[in-house]
Amino acid sequence: MSFFKTAGKPFIIAGPCSAESREQVLETAAALKELPVQLFRGGVWKPRTKPGNFEGNGVEALDWLREVKRTYGLKTTIEVAEPHHVELALEYGVDAVWLGARTTVNPFQVQHIADALKGTHLPVLVKNPVNPDVDLWEGAIERVQRAGVTDVAAIHRGFSIYDAGAVYRNPPNWPVPIELKRRRPELTIICDPSHITGRREMVANLAQKAMDLGFEGLMIETHPDPENAWSDAAQQITPRALKELLQQLIIRQEFTEDMGKSTELEYLRQLMDSVDAEVIDLIARRMQLSERIGAVKKDCNMTAYQPERWRDIVATRGEHADRQQLHKDFIVALYQLIHDESIRRQLEILQGTTKPVKD
């Protein structure tokens, strides 16, 4: 069984953003050993956005993590950003390493680290890059796997934005990790609500949302005195808060063994399949009408795009959406796609590359 698979339970990684002192590390570990935590995290080298901030205690902190393992039996994980971090992780008996968001973004650096991982058997977690690029994320995972690492998992920690008033520190952009899971169904994906929210009050809700969406684990920054943490003070929670969070977390499964519910689900899915078939048939009919309109426009030497008509579609379809209790923005966005395709087809007709289909 893979290092990151836990039958039916979320894989929990907890511990401070940074390993600040021996006391802080051991105090956190003493509290976490009572909880269902699979890995104890502690940042040893911290990638800080600006110079001059606390950049980690380096090798000294590796000694404290070794003590955590020896004293409390907790497995440990650290971030590696350089090949020699991998060597030191092995020397000090670290159990798993992770690549941070600012490393995943750089294929050269990922490759250097992957080369250092060759032949080590260290489990590796790959955080998403700071930008929402699923190929770059998958590419980093591939580099690590090609180095022969068999235990690889992904961590979703949200994506950078430029917006001082934003709700999230790094908005989750859920379609990105969901697309990674679609491409790599075998991959364990762990959510990091600490770096996504950036605010401890929001961590529990986001953790639940990750469970609702089918994520397989959580990485949560935990500190005995979060307000006074040396890094990421606003987002860390106490071990006691983590205990509460884990007790209240509703764990969802992908399948159910309840036969009655399974049958009901199957029936509803069949109904949905036939509604989708109707939706596609209707869109095809709409496109045929659009092409016939294109032919008339061509005969009269009219433009394919008619701003007045588009304004009318936005207004009337938006009102219709309201009456059906559908979000106006959602329907307008859908019509934007349909209208774009209509215009594309009409342009082909105006340019004489296509003939309209007759009814």
> Is residue 232 at the binding interface for Mn ion, with CB under 5 A as the rule?
yes
Q: Among 75, 85, 112, 127, indicate the residue that binds ligand PEP (CB under 6 A).
A: 127
Least separation in angstroms between CB 89 and ligand PEP: 15
Among 10, 42, 43, 239, binds ligand PEP (CB under 6 A): 43
Span of 98-106, 144-152, 196-204, 318-326 interacting with ligand PEP by CB under 6 A: 98-106
User: Could you tell me if 100 and 71 are in contact, meaning their C-beta atoms sit under 8 angstroms apart?
Assistant: no
Q: For 65-99, b where at least 16 C-beta lie within 10 A, e where not — what string?
A: beebbeebebbbbbbbbeeebbebbeebebbbbbb
226 binds ligand PEP (CB under 6 A): no
**Residue 101 lies near ligand PEP (rule: CB under 6 A):** yes
User: CB of 85 within 8 A of CB of 57?
Assistant: no
Closest CA to 157 of 178, 134, 177, 143: 177
Q: How far is residue 286's CA from residue 280's CA, in Å, rounded to a whole number? A: 10
CA 244 to chain centre: 24
- Residue partners of 148: CB distance under 8 A and separation at least 6: 117, 118, 119
The residue with its CB nearest to Mn ion is 17
CB of 154 to ligand PEP, least distance (A): 12
Residues 15, 29 contacting (CB under 8 angstroms): yes
User: Could you tell me which stretch among 29-37, 97-105, 262-270, 281-289 binds ligand PEP (CB under 6 A)?
Assistant: 97-105
- DSSP symbols for 164-179: TT-SSSS---THHHHH
Measure the CA dihedral 178/35/76/30, to 10°: 150
Cβ atoms of 219 and 155 within 8 Å: the answer is yes
Please provide the distance, in angstroms rounded to a whole number, between the alpha carbons at the two ends of the chain: 58
101 binds, among Mn ion, ligand PEP, none (CB under 5 to 8 A by kind): ligand PEP
Task: Kindly write out the interface string for residues 158-197 of this chain, putting x where it contacts ligand PEP by CB under 6 A and - elsewhere.
Answer: -------------------------------------x--
Choose from Mn ion, ligand PEP, none: what does 66 bind? Cβ within 5-8 Å by kind. Answer: none
In three-state secondary structure terms, 143 is helix
Please state the closest distance from residue 59 (CB atom) to ligand PEP, in A: 18
* Member of 157, 200, 223, 345 binding ligand PEP (CB under 6 A): 157
# binding residues, ligand PEP (CB under 6 A): 9
Q: Which is nearer to Mn ion, 222 or 342 (CB)?
A: 222
Which residue number has the CB closest to ligand PEP?
A: 100
Q: How far is the CB of 126 from ligand PEP (least distance, A)?
A: 10
Piece in contact with ligand PEP (CB under 6 A), picked from 81-89, 100-108, 117-125, 294-302: 100-108
Nearer to Mn ion, 54 or 310 (CB): 54
How big is the CA angle at 105 (ends 103 and 106), to the nearest 5 degrees? 75
Tokens linked to 87: 């060597």
> What would the x/- binding string for Mn ion be over residues 10 to 49, using CB under 5 A?
-------x--------------------------------
17 is an interface residue for ligand PEP by CB under 6 A: yes
Residues that bind ligand PEP (CB under 6 A): 17, 43, 47, 100-102, 127, 157, 195
